[in-house]
Amino acid sequence: MKKRIAILGSTGSIGTQALDVIKAHPDILEVEILTAHCNADLLIKQALEFKPNSVVIGLEKLYKKVADALQPHDIKVFAGENSISQIVESQEIDIVLAAIVGFAGLKSTIKAIESKKTIALANKEAMVVAGQLVTRLAQENAVNILPVDSEHSAIFQCLVGEFHNPVEKIYLTASGGPFRGKSREFLSKVTKEDALKHPNWEMGKKITIDSATLINKGLEVIEAKWLFGLKPEQIDVIIHPQSIVHSLVQFKDGSMKAQMGLPDMKLPIQYALTYPYRFATDYPRFDFMDYPQLNFEKPDTSVFRGLNLAYEAMRRNGNMPCILNAANEVVVNAFLQDKIGFLQMNDVIENCMRKISFIAEPSLEDYIQTDQETRQKAKELI
């Protein structure tokens, strides 16, 4: 039987690539629901092509535009952020691809878990902000969370068939972004245009800036802790400029497994949607002769301080990762609007981590309150 997919955030980078995957495998995958925040034109175009049962446009003022365009095609249209959370309860959904960027994706991810849907998780912030809550709910509802991030997908693939063998350590690889090897003096002058030129991956603006600061790898470290039940000391980061080895697992006997391939997000997206099976693709194949040398080096955390801030947040736990994430979302948005310098982003994040009240055992309401307070503080600091 076909797997029926709800794509939360279908107009973003992950969402559009997921639709390419579904288009390539119409015999096994079909679109049931599409949602977007404000890109009504692309949402309409996607709906006309894939004919989902329903679509949701988050910005309510765009409802009439979307509804008028889709009314002749028997596609239901809903509006509002609450509708995105409500629609995942549909019995017609088999898999929810959680691809809404940032804290905004947390509520719908939790609702999908409570509705006992398999989660293909691209929204790492849900795990960063509320990993303890999300993993507990997944266990209570017997829900599988299948990672879409290339690094976490790699760890997951390395662990298939190994779940009875304890993990000694994992290594998350990072390309190093466009500023690998650069000094703080160099970074003090970079522009958003410089930061958006990722050497290997084609991604949205938010994650591309996060990769340039290495804060993205820090968020992935926190996500890995919850996804794989690890302690902070079991997670390491290694810079790998070629982005061929997507991550590695080291077992207690000292042996290591790595997942490799050309950098293409459609591969981990497809694996999450078709797990436990692999289906043929026409994507370019890796050739060792094109990569006679694979390089690895330690990240320079004296320059890219965001990685250390993420480790600190992970060790303290509680609402500290929520503070880190909220402050980061604000500073990245400010950087993209030329309101703050590249190096100042980490200064604001660290300041928020020192000044926002720490809560050791936060509830969902605590996370929401922490997120709001941190955003306000970060904006004041900027």
Token look-up 């020192």 returns: 354
CB-CB neighbours of 365 under 10 Å: 8
Same domain, 102 and 227: no
Return d(Cα 281, Cα 287) in angstroms, integer.
16
CATH number at residue 361: 1.10.1740.10
Of 79, 89, 80, the C-alpha closest to 110 is 89
Indicate whether 351 belongs to any domain.
Answer: yes
Among 98, 121, 147, the domain boundary falls at 147
Same domain, 137 and 159: no
Indicate whether 102 belongs to any domain.
Answer: yes
Reported as a single tens digit per residue, the pLDDT across 321-352 is 999 999 999 999 999 999 999 999 999 999 99
pTM of the entire predicted model: 0.93
Cα 181 to chain centroid distance, Å, stands at: 25
H helices, E strands: number in the chain? 16, 11
Reported as a single tens digit per residue, the pLDDT across 18-73 is 999 999 999 999 999 999 999 999 999 999 999 999 999 999 999 999 999 999 99
Would you state the pLDDT for residue 169? 97
Alpha-carbon torsion angle 254, 259, 263, 264, nearest 10? -150
Domain residues for 13?
A: 3-147
Q: Say if residue 382 is exposed, middle or buried (CB neighbours under 10 Å; 0-12, 13-18, 19+).
A: middle
Among 280, 307, 334, the domain boundary falls at 307
In SS3 terms, 106-134 reads as: HHHHHHHHHCCCEEEECCHHHHHHHHHHH
Same domain, 99 and 114: yes
Indicate whether 271 belongs to any domain.
Answer: no
Of 129, 149, 134, the C-alpha closest to 325 is 129
Sign of the CA dihedral running 44, 47, 48, 49? positive
Half-sphere exposure for 285 (CA within 13 Å, toward CB)? 6
Segments of the chain assigned E as strands: 3-8, 29-36, 54-57, 76-79, 95-98, 118-121, 145-147, 167-174, 235-239, 245-251, 256-260
Would you state the pLDDT for residue 262? 95
Indicate whether 313 belongs to any domain.
Answer: no
CATH number at residue 138: 3.40.50.720
Would you state the pLDDT for residue 199? 79
Same domain, 10 and 117: yes
Indicate whether 289 belongs to any domain.
Answer: no
Return d(Cα 279, Cα 147) in angstroms, integer.
18
Long-range contacts of 366-370 (CB under 8 A, 24+ apart): 366/319, 367/106, 367/129, 367/130, 367/133, 367/319, 367/322, 370/319, 370/322, 370/323, 370/326
Would you state the pLDDT for residue 26? 96
pLDDT > 70: percent of the chain = 100
Q: How would you classify the pairing of strands 167-174 and 245-251?
A: antiparallel
Same domain, 197 and 122: no
Token look-up 């790898």 returns: 217
Same domain, 171 and 302: yes
Same domain, 129 and 61: yes
Indicate whether 279 belongs to any domain.
Answer: no
Sign of the CA dihedral running 182, 185, 186, 192? positive
N-terminal to C-terminal alpha carbon distance within the chain: 52
DSSP readout, 234-250? GEEEEE-TT--EEEEEE
Same domain, 211 and 92: no
Same domain, 83 and 116: yes
In order along its 382 residues, the chain shows pLDDT tens digits of 899 999 999 999 999 999 999 999 999 999 999 999 999 999 999 999 999 999 999 999 999 999 999 999 999 999 999 999 999 999 999 999 999 988 889 999 999 999 999 999 999 889 999 999 999 999 999 999 999 999 999 999 999 999 899 999 999 999 998 999 999 999 999 999 999 988 777 778 888 999 999 999 999 999 999 999 999 999 999 999 999 999 999 999 999 999 999 999 999 999 999 999 999 999 999 999 999 999 999 999 999 999 999 999 999 999 999 999 999 999 999 999 999 999 999 999 999 999 999 999 999 999 999 999 999 999 999 9
Indicate whether 55 belongs to any domain.
Answer: yes
What are the backbone angles phi and psi of residue 297, rounded to the nearest 5°?
Answer: -155, 165
Same domain, 170 and 299: yes
Strands of 256-260's sheet, edge to edge? 235-239, 167-174, 245-251, 256-260
Q: How many structural domains are present in the chain? A: 3
Omega of the bond prior to 362 within 30 degrees of 0, cis? no
Among 307, 339, 372, the domain boundary falls at 307
Same domain, 165 and 303: yes
Residue 95 carries which DSSP code?
Answer: E
Would you state the pLDDT for residue 35? 97
Would you state the pLDDT for residue 104? 87
Same domain, 162 and 301: yes
DSSP readout, 177-233? GGGTT--HHHHTT--HHHHT--SS----HHHHHHHHHTHHHHHHHHHHHHHHT--GG
Residues in the chain: 382
Indicate whether 23 belongs to any domain.
Answer: yes
